[in-house]
């Protein structure tokens, strides 16, 4: 019973999110999606769940691994959320 209630709530939340998204600025939605995507990369690869990626944790993503030194701007051997976001902004500026 709890699973049915939870699934129904999840469905209603998703339906509401899609309905609201139609009324939002497409650029804002895209920017938010990119931010979530970067958070997902950290969440997905962060084995010790400290909110940062080490080079060892980044080894399973060849693209991230190849860019590790550029993204790790403070040189501490870890990629923080702010460094990941800054790398995405730099990538967007260069693409413009």
Mean local confidence (pLDDT), 32-55: 79
CA dist list (Å): 24 to 14, 32, 53, 60, 61: 15, 11, 32, 35, 32
> Is 47 a domain residue?
yes
Phi, psi of 49 (to 5 degrees): 55, 40
Is residue 30 pLDDT above 70, yes or no?
no
DSSP H helical segments within the chain, as ranges? Answer: 2-21, 26-45, 55-58, 62-71, 81-95
pLDDT at 7 over 50: no
In a domain, 85, yes or no: yes
Q: Which CATH number characterizes residue 54's domain?
A: 1.10.238.10
Q: Across residues 38-66, what is the average pLDDT?
A: 89
Residue from 51, 57, 60 nearest 81 by CA? 51
Q: What is the mean pLDDT of residues 68-90?
A: 90
In this predicted structure, the answer to whether residue 19 has a pLDDT above a threshold of 70 is no
The answer as to whether 73 is a domain residue is yes
In a domain, residue 45? The reply is yes
The predicted pLDDT at position 45 comes to 93
pLDDT: which is higher, 18 or 69: 69
In a domain, 91, yes or no: yes
pLDDT band at residue 87 under the 50/70/90 scheme: confident
18 is a domain residue = no
**Residue 10, pLDDT above cutoff 70:** no
54 and 93 in contact (C-beta within 8 Å)?
no
Higher pLDDT, residue 90 or 65? 65
Instruction: Count up the domains in the chain and report the number.
Output: 1
For residue 46, give its domain range. Answer: 25-95
């Amino acid at each position: 019973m709890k699973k049915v209630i939870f699934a129904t709530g999840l469905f209603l939340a998703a339906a509401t999110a899609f309905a609201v998204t139609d009324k939002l600025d497409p650029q804002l939605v895209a920017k938010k999606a990119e931010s979530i995507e970067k958070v997902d990369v950290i969440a997905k690869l962060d084995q010790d769940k400290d909110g940062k990626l080490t080079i060892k944790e980044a080894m399973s993503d060849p693209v991230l691994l190849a860019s590790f030194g550029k993204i790790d701007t403070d040189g501490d051997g870890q990629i923080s959320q702010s460094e990941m976001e800054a790398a995405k902004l730099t990538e967007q500026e260069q693409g413009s």
